[in-house]
């Protein structure tokens, strides 16, 4: 690639040495989040403990996952694998729903105050929470407050008693008797995406609203560290999320509230009255489109609510990042949950057509981006999987020969570097170069900073950064007199030379 001098781009975030101005208590966002590395666990598929009794008809752990079958992962299985999680460098867990439910994913809640018995019940949850906190690992639960299930007590009462039920106004019902099971006809009640199994709660009813506030308060008092809030845009009741924030913050001023918003989330995070941050899917898209360099399996991606084509060159990636960083206050960016995949997407390796270099470059970009990174369980060993249910397989604990040990080391080494370098956790962001396949940027704070260069192109890339570069901290690359050279399809991180 022909060398072109770089230019120092706009700085996003505070000038090094200056604090972000506070905007009042309502906008307080928990400082621990920017220092955290999250590990997302789908509880039925992570690990199974012999200490938790199980029903007789479980799927074989290593068999392909299905939409309705259980594999029997549980919360004590998490406890027994905390060495793995801590060894990776993760300091926080995000758990998909754990409350009693008749589904392996547990987004169909039966009882919001009981942990599912297959997971070990409330006793296992208490043990898990204590074990995590003893290791300094935070725990964030999935809050599904827009809809419940056909087995939810109050909905089930309507199924049994019809017009005589005392709970008719807990839901939005068009007609009786309820059509809860005939899928060839739409449900005659409001249901999430028209799914008969997911009746929408009537949050305009003050009794329902108070019930849900009480659920959030109950588990906050139990000691959790945050809530990931499912489909929050579907709850349109005025003031609902503002009230929930006030009430859980009254119990734990540092509780983390992160919303599942897939697109521009300005209205959700800009003033700090609802969420601290959101699941950062726009950056997921940009990272994958750049790092993949066209290595996208379109058949795998098709069912996923992500736009991963056409590819982005370095300039296109830089423009996407700049536009995104202009949207929100800096403190919101530091609380966004950055991810490459989740239970709602295919596995990142599968989306990137199994290309090892693409996955590694994406990991570099995700772990150095402003915000808190979130790793979907087993992505660190290169697990494959198509969209649900394919991305929800059991962790292959008994088959280490299938693990990508090189990728695992990439994750471990980059997470260790992130913990060691404060600039990677909270430092301001500046684009330094974007030419062809080579994109370079810095993270800067009062202590100095780091320079990251990612070459997604098929040829060696060279760029002038307009700033001096010091010691090589990670990866492959050369730097001299502010000019860096990075081999094809690789990345490097240097200490910024003050």
Beta strands in 198-334 (DSSP E): 226-229, 256-259, 277-278
Distances (CA, A) of 208 to 169, 239, 451: 9, 14, 51
Residues 465 and 432: beta-carbon distance below 8 Å: yes
Q: What is the pLDDT of residues 183-235, one digit of tens each?
A: 999 999 999 999 999 999 999 999 999 999 999 999 999 999 999 999 999 99
pLDDT beneath 70: ranges in the chain: 1-8, 17-27, 498
Residue spans of alpha helices (H) in 330-468: 330-333, 348-351, 356-367, 405-420, 422-426
Residues 70 and 48: beta-carbon distance below 8 Å: no
Q: Euclidean distance between the first and final Cα of the chain, in Å?
A: 28
Q: How far is 348 from 341, CA to CA, in rounded Å?
A: 6
Instruction: Give the number of other Cβ atoms within 10 Å of residue 181's Cβ.
Output: 11
User: Tell me, what's the pLDDT at 25?
Assistant: 47
- Beta carbons within 8 Å of 484's beta carbon, 6+ residues apart: 440, 451, 453, 462, 463, 465, 469, 477, 478, 492, 494
Instruction: Give the number of other Cβ atoms within 10 Å of residue 84's Cβ.
Output: 17
In CATH terms, 16-426 corresponds, of 3.30.530.20, 3.30.70.920, 3.20.20.80, 3.10.20.740, to: 3.20.20.80
What does the block give as tokens for 151?
């087995």
User: Tell me, what's the pLDDT at 5?
Assistant: 45
Look at the domain 430-496 and name its fold: Immunoglobulin-like (2.60.40)
Q: Residue 277's closest CA among 228, 212, 231?
A: 228
Asked about 142 being catalytic, the answer comes back as no
Q: Residue 284's closest CA among 379, 407, 212?
A: 379
User: Tell me, what's the pLDDT at 24?
Assistant: 45
User: Tell me, what's the pLDDT at 148?
Assistant: 98
Catalytic position from the list 116, 230, 297, 344: 230
- Does 16-426 match 430-496 in CATH topology? no
Beta strands in 175-247 (DSSP E): 226-229
User: Tell me, what's the pLDDT at 9?
Assistant: 81
Q: Residue 30's closest CA among 254, 352, 266?
A: 254
Residues 109 and 116: beta-carbon distance below 8 Å: no
> Could you tell me the residue ranges of all domains in the chain?
16-426, 430-496
Instruction: Give the number of other Cβ atoms within 10 Å of residue 27's Cβ.
Output: 16
Measured in whole angstroms, how far is the alpha carbon of residue 180 from the centre of its chain? 32
Q: Residue 99's closest CA among 244, 261, 219, 247?
A: 219
Q: Residue 479's closest CA among 429, 442, 445, 446?
A: 442
Q: Residue 24's closest CA among 237, 227, 246, 223?
A: 246
Q: How far is 340 from 375, CA to CA, in rounded Å?
A: 7
Mean pLDDT, the chain, whole residue set: 95
Catalytic position from the list 260, 435, 444, 445: 260
Which H/E stretch holds residue 157? helix 153-161
Q: Residue 482's closest CA among 460, 321, 494?
A: 494
Q: How far is 475 from 455, CA to CA, in rounded Å?
A: 11
User: Tell me, what's the pLDDT at 2?
Assistant: 38
Asked about 230 being catalytic, the answer comes back as yes
């Amino acid at each position: 690639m022909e060398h072109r001098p770089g230019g120092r781009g706009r700085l996003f975030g505070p000038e090094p040495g200056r604090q972000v101005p506070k905007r009042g208590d309502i906008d307080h966002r928990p400082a621990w989040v920017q220092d955290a590395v999250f590990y997302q666990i789908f509880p039925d598929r992570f690990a199974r403990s012999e200490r938790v009794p199980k029903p007789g008809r479980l799927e074989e752990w290593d068999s392909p996952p299905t939409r309705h079958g259980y594999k029997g992962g549980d919360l004590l299985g998490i406890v027994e694998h905390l060495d793995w999680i801590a060894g990776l460098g993760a300091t926080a867990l995000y758990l998909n729903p754990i409350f009693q439910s008749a589904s392996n994913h547990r987004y169909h809640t039966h009882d919001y105050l009981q942990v599912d018995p297959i997971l070990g019940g409330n006793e296992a949850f208490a043990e898990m929470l204590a074990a995590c906190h003893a290791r300094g690992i935070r725990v964030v639960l999935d809050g599904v407050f827009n809809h419940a299930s056909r087995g939810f007590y109050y909905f089930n009462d309507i199924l049994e008693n019809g017009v005589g039920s005392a709970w008719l106004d807990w839901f939005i019902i068009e007609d009786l008797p309820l059509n809860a099971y005939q899928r060839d006809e739409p449900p005659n009640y409001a249901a999430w995406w028209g799914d008969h199994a997911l009746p929408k709660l009537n949050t305009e009813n003050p009794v329902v609203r108070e019930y849900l506030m009480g659920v959030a308060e109950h588990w906050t008092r139990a000691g959790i560290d945050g809530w990931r809030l499912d489909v929050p845009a579907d709850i349109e009741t005025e003031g609902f999320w503002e009230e929930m924030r006030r009430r859980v913050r009254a119990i734990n001023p540092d509780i983390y509230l992160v919303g599942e918003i897939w697109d521009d989330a300005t209205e959700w995070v800009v003033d700090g009255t609802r969420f601290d941050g959101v699941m950062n899917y726009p950056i997921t898209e940009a990272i994958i489109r750049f790092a993949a360099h066209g290595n996208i399996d379109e058949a795998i991606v098709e069912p996923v609510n992500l736009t991963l084509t056409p590819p982005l060159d370095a300039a296109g990636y830089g423009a996407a990042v700049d536009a995104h960083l202009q949207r929100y206050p800096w403190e919101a960016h530091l609380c966004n949950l950055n991810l490459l995949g989740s239970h709602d997407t295919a596995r990142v390796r599968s989306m990137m057509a199994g290309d090892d270099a693409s996955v590694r470059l994406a990991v570099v970009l995700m772990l150095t981006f402003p915000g808190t990174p979130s790793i979907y369980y087993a992505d660190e060993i290169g697990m494959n999987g198509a969209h649900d249910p394919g991305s929800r397989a059991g962790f292959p604990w008994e088959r280490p020969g299938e693990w990508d040990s090189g990728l695992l080391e990439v994750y471990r080494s980059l997470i260790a570097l992130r913990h060691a370098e404060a600039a990677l956790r909270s430092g301001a962001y500046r684009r330094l170069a974007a030419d062809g396949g080579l994109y370079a940027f810095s993270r800067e704070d009062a202590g100095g900073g780091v320079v990251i260069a990612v070459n997604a192109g098929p040829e060696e890339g060279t760029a002038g950064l307009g700033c001096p570069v010091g010691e090589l901290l990670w990866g492959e690359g050369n730097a001299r007199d502010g000019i860096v050279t990075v081999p094809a399809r690789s990345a490097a991180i240097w200490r910024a030379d003050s």
